[in-house]
C-alpha cells in the first residue's frame, strides 16, 4: 500500500497529506513546525494528546480542531469543533467517523473511562479509511471497524499492551496494522522487542519510522 501520504511524528501523533493540506492527529512534542494545519484531530484531553503548545506551532487563523466535548476548556481561543462517539461528520471536505476509546481492564479504568466519551477516528484521506484508535483497550466496538489502515496503541500501562493489541487486530477489519504509542513507555530495547513481536504475529503489519528523532520518554 502507498503510505507516502501518512507520516508518523511519534507517540500517537501523525500527519496526513490531504490534497496538499496538512491534517494532524494528537500533535505532541513536535520538533518543528511540520506545516500549518488544515485540521487537527484530538482524541482526548491528556497532555500527550492535547498539547496546546504543540497546537500553537501548527495552527493558523483558519485551522479547525476536532475534539471530544471534554476538551473544550483547553481549546478555548481556538476554532474547535466538538464531537461525540459513534457519529459521522464532514469538515473541509474530509469525511470521518468517531469510535469510542476507553479502558476495560480493572487496573486502567481510571485512565480512560467510558463515561468520558473520548474517541478514536476513522478518517477518509486519499481514498483510504484510516482508523486511529486513540488511547484504548481492545473493546467490543472494534468489531464494527472497517478500514484500510489501523493505527493502534501497543505500549501498555494506559492502553493495550502488545498481547492485547495483537488480539485487537483479530477484531478489526483492516488491510494493514500500524503500532503506535509505545516508545516512551517501553524504552528503546522494549520497543524493539514489541515491534519484532508485532511483525511476527500480525499479518500485514507495518512498522513506521518517525519523521523526527524517536522519544523514549515524556
DSSP result, 123-183? EEETTEEEEE--S----GGGGG-EEEEEEEE---TTS--HHHHHHHHTTSEEEEEEEES-H
Q: Which fold has domain 6-201?
A: Metallo-beta-lactamase; Chain A (3.60.15)
Taking only the tens place, the pLDDT of each residue in 101-151 is 999 999 999 999 999 999 999 999 999 999 999 999 999 999 999 999 999
Taking only the tens place, the pLDDT of each residue in 76-103 is 999 999 999 999 999 999 999 999 999 9
Taking only the tens place, the pLDDT of each residue in 5-55 is 999 999 999 999 999 999 999 999 999 889 999 999 999 999 999 999 999
Enter the C-alpha cell of residue 169.
487486530
Q: 53: part of which helix (H) or strand (E)?
A: helix 52-58
Query: Closest Cα partner for 118 from 180, 11, 41?
Result: 41
CB distance 49 to 136 below 8 Å: no
Give domain limits for the chain: 6-201
Taking only the tens place, the pLDDT of each residue in 144-178 is 999 999 999 999 999 999 999 999 999 999 999 99
Amino acid at each position: 500500500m502507498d503510505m507516502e501520504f501518512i507520516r508518523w511524528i511519534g507517540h500517537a501523533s501523525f500527519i496526513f497529506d490531504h490534497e496538499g493540506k496538512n491534517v494532524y492527529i494528537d500533535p505532541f512534542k513536535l520538533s518543528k513546525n511540520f506545516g500549518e494545519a488544515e485540521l487537527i484531530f484530538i482524541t482526548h484531553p491528556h497532555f500527550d494528546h492535547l498539547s496546546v503548545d504543540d497546537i500553537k506551532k501548527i495552527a493558523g487563523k483558519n485551522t479547525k480542531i476536532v475534539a471530544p466535548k471534554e476538551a473544550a476548556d483547553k481549546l478555548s481561543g481556538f476554532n474547535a469543533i466538538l464531537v461525540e462517539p459513534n457519529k459521522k461528520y464532514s469538515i473541509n471536505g474530509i469525511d470521518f467517523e468517531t469510535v469510542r476509546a476507553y479502558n476495560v481492564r480493572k487496573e486502567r479504568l481510571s485512565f480512560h473511562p467510558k463515561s468520558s466519551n473520548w474517541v478514536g477516528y476513522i478518517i477518509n484521506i486519499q481514498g483510504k479509511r484510516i482508523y486511529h484508535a486513540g488511547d484504548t483497550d481492545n473493546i467490543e466496538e472494534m468489531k464494527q471497524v472497517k478500514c484500510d489502515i489501523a493505527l493502534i496503541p501497543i505500549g501498555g500501562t494506559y492502553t493495550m499492551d502488545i498481547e492485547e493489541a495483537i488480539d485487537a487486530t483479530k477484531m478489526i477489519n483492516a488491510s494493514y496494522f500500524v503500532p503506535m504509542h509505545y516508545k516512551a513507555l517501553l524504552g528503546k530495547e522494549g520497543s524493539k522487542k514489541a515491534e519484532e513481536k508485532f511483525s511476527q504475529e500480525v499479518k500485514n503489519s507495518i512498522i513506521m519510522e518517525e519523521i523526527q528523532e524517536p522519544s523514549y520518554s515524556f
